[in-house]
Amino acid sequence: MGKIAFLFPGQGSQTVGMGKELADTNEVVAEIFKRADKRLEMNLSKIVFEGPEEELILTTNTQPALLTTSVAILEAFKEAKIEADFVAGHSLGEYSALVAAKAISFEDAVFAVRMRGAFMEEAVPAGLGAMAAILGIDRDVLKEITEEVSLTGNPVELANLNCPGQIVISGSKEGVDKASLMAKEKGARRIIPLQVSGPFHSSLMKPAATKLAEVLNKVDINNAQIPVIVNVSATAVTNGEVIKEMLIQQVFSPVLWEDTINYLLQQGVDTFIEIGSGNVLSGLVKKIERKVNVYAVNDSVTMAKTIESIKGGVS
């Protein structure tokens, strides 16, 4: 039997009603949502379960909503006694991974990501930043393009290196537009502008990182009990001080997701379990390596199937 990694989704995976079916039938799940409401002094669970979508997609709501959903589903999944050898999360999902690894308490994490969302929204005035997914182009070619465009005074950088041929760029609106055009000329298959409230994971987010550091400095970040593969370096980290530093850098650094999955594969992981809303990360894992077992646990049906497959030893 190979090793198991738990993966936790980030922004973009949210849907109205996520986690509701489990919360209605499982007291452990319902309790996590109640704890989020209490810590944030707001009815977050109502926004998650009922919407409206316009409220859920506000970054300040999306981030705590996704974290709460992931942690709630994880708590229910834990009853099956399936242990992770490693954990990782995409961007915001890294906080869910840290809760899973007992490096940070759920209450501290949900508060921190609510503030993180607010700081990220405030960092760049609306309309001045942008992000776009660039499909079908080599990482090194795209990096050269972004560096060339940035030299003209329009910053643009690689933000999410998701899987081969799927990279998100982020930066000033002009920078992203110019780099997108050049990428198309250099053979990119498709350019998809993203509906986001800011240029996440670019150097324009440094003001947000500075403010987030103040919040994280007041929070207990312990050594992780399970190695966490962090976005910034795509390496395993357990030291609490290093984790804190990585969370601050993560706001303005690229998410090295493809590298993260490759690192896990090198460590002997052959079973990836995505815990939380949707199955975006499961899809990315399959694009990186087809020959592994991939599960997405987001409701009672997928949870039961996953547990049966793993416990029964059937892939």
CATH of the domain at 140: 3.30.70.250
Q: For residue 297, what are the β-bridge partners?
A: 275
Residues 299-313 have pLDDT tens digits of: 999 999 999 999 885
Are the beta carbons of 89 and 95 closer than 8 angstroms? yes
Three-state SS annotation for 166-204: EEEEEEEHHHHHHHHHHHHHCCCCEEEECCCCCCCCCHH
Give the model's pLDDT for residue 196.
83
Compute CA distances 224 → 97, 155, 182, 220, 244, whole Å. 10, 35, 42, 12, 11
Q: What is the per-residue pLDDT across 6-36, written as a single tens digit (0 to 9) for each?
A: 999 999 999 999 999 999 999 999 999 999 9
Same domain, 103 and 228: yes
**Mean pLDDT computed over every residue of the chain:** 96
Q: Please, which residues have CB within 8 angstroms of residue 78's CB and are 6 or more apart in sequence?
A: none
pLDDT tens for 173-192 read: 999 999 999 999 999 999 99
Question: What is the number of domains present in the chain?
Answer: 2
Q: Are residues 112 and 133 in the same domain?
A: no
Q: Is 282 a catalytic residue?
A: no
Q: Are residues 185 and 294 in the same domain?
A: no
289 and 306: one domain?
yes
pLDDT of residue 102: 98
Report the alpha-carbon distance of residue 238 to residue 206 in Å, rounded.
24
Given 153, 176, 196, the domain boundary residue is 196
Residues 159 and 250 in one domain: no
Answer yes or no: do 15 and 48 share one domain: yes
Q: What is the tens place of the pLDDT at every residue in 232-287?
A: 999 999 999 999 999 999 999 999 999 999 999 999 999 999 999 999 999 999 99
* Range 46-52 average pLDDT: 98
Task: Mark residue 201 as left, alpha or beta (left: phi above 0; alpha: psi -120 to 50; beta: remaining).
Answer: left
Q: What pLDDT score was predicted for residue 195?
A: 83
pLDDT the model gives residue 296: 98
Are residue 45 and residue 176 in the same domain, yes or no? no
pLDDT band for 315, please (50, 70, 90 cuts).
very low
Over residues 122-168, the pLDDT tens digits come to 999 888 999 999 999 999 999 999 999 999 999 999 999 999 999 99
Q: Same domain, yes or no, for 102 and 163? A: no
Q: 108 and 28: one domain?
A: yes
For residue 11, the model assigns a pLDDT of 93
- Please spell the DSSP secondary structure of 46-107, one letter per residue: HHHHH--HHHHTSHHHHHHHHHHHHHHHHHHHGGG-PPPSEEEESTTHHHHHHHHTTSS-HH
The predicted model gives 288-296 an average pLDDT of: 97
pLDDT at 312 (0 to 100): 81
Give the end of a domain, one of 166, 196, 226: 196
Which amino acid appears at position 11 of this protein? Q
Are 211 and 189 contained in the same domain? no
Read off the amino acid at residue 281: L
Q: How far apart are CA 269 and CA 265, in angstroms?
A: 5
Active-site residue, selected from the candidate residues 90, 96, 150, 201: 201
Peptide bond into 227 cis (omega under 30): no
- Catalytic pick among 91, 172, 197, 202: 91
Question: Are 238 and 282 in the same domain?
Answer: yes
105 noted as active-site residue: no
Q: Which domain holds residue 58?
A: 3-123+204-311
R_g of the chain, CA atoms, integer Å:
19
8 A C-beta contact, residue 170 and residue 157: yes
Predicted pLDDT of residue 313? 59
